[in-house]
Every structure is written in structure tokens, then in C-alpha cells.
Amino acid sequence: MSTTTTTSPARRARCAATGLLVGALVLGPALAASAHVRVSADDPAAGGWSVLTFRVPNESDTTGTVVVEVDLPTQTPLTSVSVEPVPGWTAEVVRGQLPEPVAVEGGEITEAPLSVTWTADEGVQIGPGEFQRFALSAGPLPGEGTDVVLPATQTYSDGEVVAWDEPVVEGEDEPETPAPAFTTTAAAGDEGAPAAQEEVQETSATASAAEGGDTTARWLAGGGLALGLVALLLAVAAQRRRVAR
């Protein structure tokens, strides 16, 4: 005998509401975090050049983003900055005086790129539910382990400005509007030196072993030839004695 269990509409509604609430609690923080302005460096090695890509999502449900501005570091300035063209947007790199001279290899610099601004052309914007990538090439990057902080501002078509400039402190919760940032890594040469040295040592050891093996082979061959010659001489002497008898 089978029993059929039915669920009332009210109970189904409560289950659905519970599921939506759980989903919101799980996905809410992830969606909020993904909505932040972020930067990624394709090669953050110290002393090199990297393509920095800014991901700018539009957080408004009613207006679009029309201006994005990024402040460049002044204590560890990026002396060379160039932008990748974005259709429908005009980019401007602003150079200016640094707050204080910065010592570099071979001297010091007092002027460097200070900011980059992307402005949407007429009729262009990052609309609700959309995002846009903006990229620039910059360098040379500062020393290993440097936190390169790049505060940004996002301007909407209704005049609202959102500043992404709050510092992120390790071990603490991420602030509501964190500044885009990345950390430099070891220079490529520093990482490769031990491996290269090890390879040279291994090659040298292999060559020495090969040379040693070759020398041994020559000695063995020479010894074999000498023994063969001695055997031949003994055989000839024995033959002569038999003839003499």
C-alpha cells in the first residue's frame, strides 16, 4: 500500500522564500565584492613593465558610468605610462610635478605621470548591468613586495561620483570602496639565477664525468693493446724455438 504526500501551497511558498534568502546570503557578499573596481597586472615582476587592466562595473540601476579616473603612485612613480585605445572613450595621461623628488638609478626624478582619465564620448557609457575594461602599460615597477595602490573615481551620468580609495588592511574586512591595488613580485632575473647556476653546475658535472669516462676508456684501450702486443711477441718466440728444434 503506497502513501502519497502532498505539500500545501503555503508550505511551498515558505520553502521558496527560504531558498531565496539562503541564496541571497551566500551570493550577496560575492556579488558585492565582484562589483568593486579592480586592477590586475599581467606581469608584476619588480623592475619590469606590466599591462594593468582595470575592471570597472556599473553599480547603478538607472544611470551609466561616463568617466573613470585612476591616480598613479607618487612615492614609487611609474615613469612610463601608455594607454590602450577603447572604442568610444578618450584617454588622457596627466603628467606633473611630484610632491618630492624620487631617487632612481642614475639620479632623481621630479616629474612623472600622475593620473589617467577615460572619458566616454557622446552617447557612450557603461550601462546598468555592464562593465568595461581599461588597460595601460606602465613601468618600471618598484621593488619586490611593494603594494602599488591605484585609487580610482567613477563618475555617473547623473553627476554622482564614487571614490574607490579606501586602503585594504591585511587581516581586516575589506572596506566598502577599496582602492585597486596589486603587489610586485621578485624580478625575473632574481628567480632565474639559482636555476641557471644549478644548470651550469649540472652541465659542468656531466662534462667532467664524461671526460673522466673518456680518459678511463683510453687507458683501457691502451692497456689492451699492450697486452695484445706482448702476447704476439711470446707467440713468435715460441714458434722460433719449435723451428730451431
Is residue 209 domain-resident?
yes
Tell me what the pLDDT averaged over the chain comes to. Answer: 79
> Do 149 and 175 fall into the same domain?
yes
Domain limits for position 239: 192-245
Per-residue pLDDT at 202 exceeds 70: no
Domain CATH code at residue 67: 2.60.40.2230
Helix (H) or strand (E) holding 90: strand 89-104
Cα 15 from chain centre? 44
Is residue 28 domain-resident?
no
> Do 140 and 209 fall into the same domain?
no
> Do 164 and 222 fall into the same domain?
no
Cell numbers for 217, please give them.
676508456
Is residue 14 domain-resident?
no
23-36 pLDDT, tens per residue?
444 444 444 445 79
Is residue 19 domain-resident?
no
CA distance 184 to 140: 11
CA distance 59 to 126: 10
pLDDT for 24? 40
> Do 75 and 176 fall into the same domain?
yes
Number of domains in the chain: 2
> Do 130 and 196 fall into the same domain?
no
> Do 130 and 203 fall into the same domain?
no
- Looking at 137, 152, 186, which one is the last position of a domain? 186
> Do 130 and 45 fall into the same domain?
yes
- Among the residue ranges 21-25, 122-126, 236-240, the one predicted with the least confidence is 21-25
End-to-end CA distance of the chain: 122
> Do 75 and 151 fall into the same domain?
yes
Say how many residues make up the chain.
245
76-95 pLDDT, tens per residue?
999 999 999 999 999 999 99
> Do 173 and 196 fall into the same domain?
no
Confidence of residue 45 (pLDDT cuts 50, 70, 90): very high
> Which tops the pLDDT comparison, 42 or 219?
42
CB 95 within 8 A of CB 116: no
124-153 pLDDT, tens per residue?
999 999 999 999 999 999 999 999 999 999
Cα 163 from chain centre? 25
**Is the pTM value of this prediction over 0.75?**
no
> Do 101 and 199 fall into the same domain?
no
